[in-house]
Structure 1
Amino acid sequence: MTQPDHSSPSETSTTGSRLGDPVVLILSIGFIVAFVALSLYDIDMVANGISAGFAWTARTLGSYFQLLLLLTFFIGMGVAMSPAGAAKVGNLQTPEISTFKWLSMIMCTLLAGGGVFFAAGEPVYHFVVTPPAFDTEAGTVDAVAGALAQSFMHWGFLAWAVLGTLTAVVMAHAHYVKGQPMQPRTLLTPVLGERLMSGPLGGVVDALCVIAVVAGTVGPIGFLATQVSFGLHELFGLPQGYGTQLAVLAALGAIYVTSAMTGIHRGIQLLSRFNVFLALVIAAVIFVFGPTLFLTDAFTQGFGTYLSSFFTMATMTAETAPDWWMKWWTVFFFAWFIGYGPLMAIFVARISRGRTIRQMILAVAVMAPVATTLWFTLLGGSGIFYQLNGVIDLTEALNNFQFDVATLTVAQALPGGTLMALAILLLTTIFVATTGDSMSYAISVVGAGHDAPNPLIRAFWGIAMAIMAAILLYMGAGQISALQQFIVITAIPVSLVLLPSLWTGPKAAYAMAREQGLIDQPSKREA
């Protein structure tokens, strides 16, 4: 049985031209203004305050974050394999977006949000500094599998699952069937009730989720400017100062704001497809002309170690690992992904109309992570190969967390040298642009409450994030780092928004399946 479609008629609809919920607007823009103003007033005070909150959160709530991701993944897999997995999302019988375009947009979200910065450097870091889950000697052949496995843990099944599996199911059912707004507050409606969530508290919930995404997106935007500026300096001798960084930000902002304004069916889709094609070309060149046999063996062993040591790595705590490790690696990444969770649920639910729940969950929680591990193997595995054979030495740079140096160094060592480095810089830029456009769109959806927000609102949020990145870079890259640490703090309230989906996700899936006549209605006694 098909339910009425409560969505807006088209991407170009002018419905929702208003800025949206004033509580969301005041709190989210207020955060941006307050963060910048306080940083201008006393940078050290802001950095030290965030650092203290960051350390406390990582130490106290790290295990909670880990458990949330584990449960989300396994319950999501259960829903996908259940009879309810056959239910269609969004009241469409056929997919609205072709499979390749759909998968491209999914891939260009999380991987764009940071994977391109860490894909080259993180595996090499774990190769030269043995992760606590393993006891191999750093820098040796025996350390290769563990180094890749640890990277796979941070960017694999758990990371992706929290972004758009159970929460996307809840959002799709609530919006497209029940007509509830496409906002993070909707994830709490089954628990707290529609009356409470339609008031100021709902606005506060939405604002907290928007703030988490702004913090999570401004970081990559700012770091991209430093990375491209560094790359252009090393390759062509261009000045590496603030002027170059500002020019990079302006170009990046123009790309993703234009993309966000044209919408899901135009700019966002086109940018994602271009990026996937470019990534496939780069991947093919690396695999064919690079250390092919080493990469094949490294992936096989690394993925096997990832599976066999899965729970050891996923449940590592401050009791079994150094405090600095948990704070700067596993807990940091997991909190980052949690911060993106509610708005990614909106984005995934929107682009998955006409897909089955099973297809949506498997694409997000299985296909995308496997593709990510392949990408990390090609870039990071090549970096390990060159480090192992003395072609490069990234030990000092990575111990100082200089991942921009690592990416360019590995890129220049790859087949094609300077040409490959340029291609990877372009890929990185477009990857971050796809995060900028999808999150500008998602934030605008939160304000409008439906999936066709006004293009000018999309532009406003895109420009706001670029300006914030520019201001923070002017103060120094340390403020970008402080903002990224703030992500871990914002994960506390955002995790509470995601938590109910552990039981409301399966309920929504079965409700959709019953409404579509795929499974029997429950008896009165069961109901």
Structure 2
Amino acid sequence: MNSEHSNAAPGTLGKLGDPVVLGLSAGFIVLFVALSIFDINMVSDGIGAGFAWTAATLGSYFQLLLLATFFIALGVAMSPAASALVGNRSYPEFTTFRWLSMIMCTLLAGGGVFFAAGEPVYHFVVTPPAFGTEAGTSAAVAPALAQSFMHWGFLAWAILGSLTAVVLAHAHYDNGHPLRPRTLLYPVFGQRVMTGWFGGLVDACCVIAVVAGTVGPIGFLATQVSYGFETLFGLPDSYGTQLAILVALGALYVTSAVTGIHKGIQFLSRVNVILALIIAAVIFVFGPTLFLTNSFTQGFGEYITSFFAMSTVTSETAPDWWMKWWTVFFFSWFIGYGPLMAIFVARISRGRSIRQMILAVGVMAPVATTVWFTLLGGSGIFYQMTGAIDLTEALNNFQFDVATLTVAQELPGGAFMAVAILVLTTIFVATTGDSMSYSISVVATGHDQPNVLVRVFWGVAMALMAAILLYMGEGQISSLQQFIVITAIPVSLILLPSLWTGPKSAYAMARQQGLVAPLEAPREDPA
């Protein structure tokens, strides 16, 4: 993206960006850590209460928001306006493989790899509320995979960059507005939201949600790799090991973010996808191939036929604990990522059509995710069924780091495959760190090419926050992740207008490019 697409005048923003955005978002980090030091139990109990209230009160609203976003986005993708090109560019800025790699390495990196092995097995040993199959039987395989597909499939991806990316692309490339969350509200509030404290508050809410959503995977990766080092190599699973892993991870994704989208970010994403494809091929060819093929076919079929039953489960038909720790938690997490992911998708999609952008994010990426969950999680189910492993106790205690490594060691290649998956998981989380460090910096500065110091600041801040919280105990990382559900409240309101401004923006772009007929001027009343 060229600098002419940014309207942030020099001097308008400080080197670290809008003082309101910086003050509120950085202030949140300092306040959360300070309060945790002062009274860990107070912070955990307060967030837990807010988490439970939000899940019980607004869970259905979050579900309906994702459903509406997905189906309206599909409608836009099938409309005549979908042929409009993004960014006033007649050819794509990135090759298709590089573009799709950067898209895939966002949500899937944020937790999909961490949950891919354990979640299907969990739903296999604990039957999801939408189904009545007996847990642990062959009949439970398809529902277990289908429930995992629901959490990481079409609805999850659509909220990340379909309608919202269209709104931002039109506002930014055609009308010169900055790539910031506040721009999503410009069609509603006009210029009032673009300057002053209101716009800063909108941006800060989205930054805080992403910080909460990204620090969690960063922290949990350190615990997962540390546990893996102890299991595989006998190294101590200690805070010192976790800290060393955080330093290495932070150095990796900060370097990637500093070098930018055209270098580090797209290179790391490309390496990530290539490694994932190699691992996937090894699992499919040398693992339980027939079982995986049948499980995917049946699981995806169950996903489609039970789509509405799973996506509309409420606390009336499911236990409260299940809703808040599974469907509502995941959907809230994706809502929190929504605005900044849309910024990233709009930024890398210049020269692509609206149809390509929506289908890549809302259809292609979810299907690829279901394949990945089948390979890792389906293998886990197979080994659980045959008695090679038993993850029931670990998963009932939500020890997904144990599940990932246990399944990995049973895969073809054993320890070698376990190391490969640990490396892949590390790079996946690094791609989340670099893309979100970059996107937060774009939001903070209002500029498409944010200052290098700003990218370093946010990358280091997230790694440092993870290190401090891990020192206090993994419970504080869990508390921060629960906070995601609370941050989804304001962010969902920022995303809500895209349900109608998304189609309007698509048609406005199409009219500007002569793809649809212009609006007729209102006729004067003869009287």
TM > 0.5: yes
Secondary structure of 1:193 counterpart: helix
**Residues 257, 463 of structure 1: 8 Å contact kept:** yes
1:220 and 2:210 matched:
no
Residue aligning to 2:168: 171
- 2:78 maps to 81
The one-letter code matched in structure 2 to 1:145 is A
The separation in 2 between residues aligned to 1:196 and 1:472, in whole angstroms, is 34
| Structure 1 counterpart of 2:459, from 462, 485, 490 | 462
Q: Does 1:473 align with 2:470?
A: yes
1:301 corresponds to: 298
CA offsets 1:234-275 (integer angstroms, 9 cap, x no match):
001100000000000000000000000000000000000000
In the TM superposition, residue 197 of structure 1 has moved relative to its aligned partner by: 3.3
Task: Give the partner amino acid of 1:80.
Answer: A
Q: How far apart, in 2, do the equivalents of 1:57 and 1:372 lie?
A: 28
Residues 13-28 of structure 1 mapped to structure 2, 5 A cutoff = 18-28=15-25
Unaligned runs of 5+ in 1: none
What is the aligned partner in structure 2 of residue 262 from structure 1? Answer: 259
Alignment of 1:444 onto 2:441: yes
* CA–CA distance in structure 2, aligned partners of residues 375 and 238 of structure 1: 29
**Aligned position for 1:141:** 138
Q: Contact 2:162 / 2:358 at 8 angstroms: preserved in 1?
A: yes
Letter in 2 for 1:381: G
Question: What residue number does 1:69 align with?
Answer: 66
Q: CA deviation at 1:526?
A: 9.1
Q: Give CA deviations for 1:176-206 in whole Å, capped at 9, x if unaligned.
A: 1111111100001110111243221000000
Match of 2:331 in 1: 334
Read off the aligned partner of 1:454 and give its amino acid letter. N
Contact kept? 1:17, 1:453, Cα under 8 Å: no
Residue 49 of structure 1 aligns to a residue whose secondary structure is helix
Q: Deviations over 1:353-385 (max 9, x none)?
A: 000000000000000000000000000000000
Question: 2:107 aligns to what?
Answer: 110
Deviations 1:420-471 (A, max 9, x none): 0000000000000000000000000001212111122111100000000000
The CA deviation at 1:68 is 0.2
C-alpha distance in 2 between matches for 1:420 and 1:358: 37
Q: Which residue of 2 aligns with 1:55?
A: 52
Pairing 1:432–2:429 present:
yes
Q: Is 1:395 paired with 2:392?
A: yes
What are the residue-to-residue correspondences of 1:213-362 with 2, within 5 Å? 213-362=210-359
Q: Which residue of 1 aligns with 2:94?
A: 97
Superposition pairs for residues 27-38 of structure 1, below 5 Å? 27-38=24-35
The match for 1:487 among 473, 484, 505 is 484
The verdict on how the C-alpha distance between 1:5 and 1:480 changes in structure 2, with shifts beyond 3 A counting, is closer
1:190 aligned partner: 187
Separation of aligned partners in 2, 1:228 and 1:15: 43
- Classify the secondary structure of the residue corresponding to 2:342: helix
Whether the aligned pair in 1 keeps the contact of 2:3 and 2:448 (CA below 8 Å) is no
C-alpha contact 1:5 1:177 (8 A) present in aligned 2? no
Structure 1 residues 519 and 307, CA, compared in 2 at 3 Å: closer, same or farther? same
Does the 8 A contact of 1:226 with 1:245 survive in 2?
yes
Q: Given residue 81 of structure 1, which amino acid in structure 2 is its aligned partner?
A: M
Aligned to 2:501: 504
Q: Report the Cα offset of residue 16 of structure 1.
A: 7.3
Aligned position for 1:40: 37
State the Cα deviation string for residues 285-316 of structure 1 (Å, max 9, x = none).
Answer: 00000000000000000000000000000000
Report whether the alignment pairs 1:374 with 2:374: no
Q: Give CA-to-partner distance per residue, 1:381-434, whole Å, 9 cap, x none.
A: 000000000000000000000000000000000000000000000000000000
> Retained in 2: the 8 A contact 1:170–1:501?
yes
For 2:143, the aligned partner's letter is: G
Contact residue 145 and residue 301 of structure 1 kept, 8 A: yes
SS at match of 2:5: coil
Alpha-carbon spacing, 1:14–1:243, altered in 2? closer, same or farther (3 Å):
farther
* Mapped partners of 2:411, 2:28: distance in 1: 42
Of residues 466-475 and 450-459 in structure 1, the stretch that sits farther from structure 2 once superposed is 450-459
How many pairs were matched up? 521
Q: Aligned partners of 1:397 and 1:96: how far apart in 2?
A: 45
Change (3 A) 1:415 1:509: same
Q: Alpha-carbon deviation of 1:6?
A: 4.3
Q: Distance in 2 between matches of 1:412 and 1:227?
A: 14
Q: Partner residue of 1:127?
A: 124
Whole-Å Cα distance in 1 between the matches of residues 347 and 134 of structure 2? 47
| Letter of the structure 2 residue corresponding to residue 114 of structure 1 | G
Matched, 1:7 2:5: yes
CA distance in 2, matches of 1:201, 1:323: 35
Q: 2:94·2:348 contact (CA, 8 Å) conserved in 1?
A: yes
User: Aligned partners of 2:285 and 2:5: how far apart in 1?
Assistant: 46
Instruction: Structure 2 unaligned segments of length 5 or more: list them.
Output: none
Residues of 2 paired with 1:97 and 1:18: CA distance?
Answer: 29
Residue 436 of structure 1 aligns with an amino acid whose one-letter code is G
Asked if 2 retains the 8 angstrom alpha-carbon contact of 1:445 and 1:453, the reply is: yes
Identity among equivalent positions (%) equals 79
Aligned to 1:517: 514
C-alpha separation in 2, matches of 1:8 and 1:188: 18
**Corresponding residue of 1:384:** 381
Q: For residues 279 and 194 of structure 1, what CA distance do their matches in structure 2 show?
A: 44
- Aligned-CA RMSD value: 1.6
Q: TM-score, normalised by structure 1?
A: 0.97
Please give the alpha-carbon distance, in whole angstroms, between the structure 2 residues aligned to 1:17 and 1:390: 60
CA distance in 2 between partners of 1:418 and 1:8 (Å): 49
- The DSSP-based 3-state class of the residue aligned with 2:328 is helix
Question: Partner of 2:135: helix, strand, or coil?
Answer: coil
What TM-score, normalized by structure 2, do the two folds share?
0.97
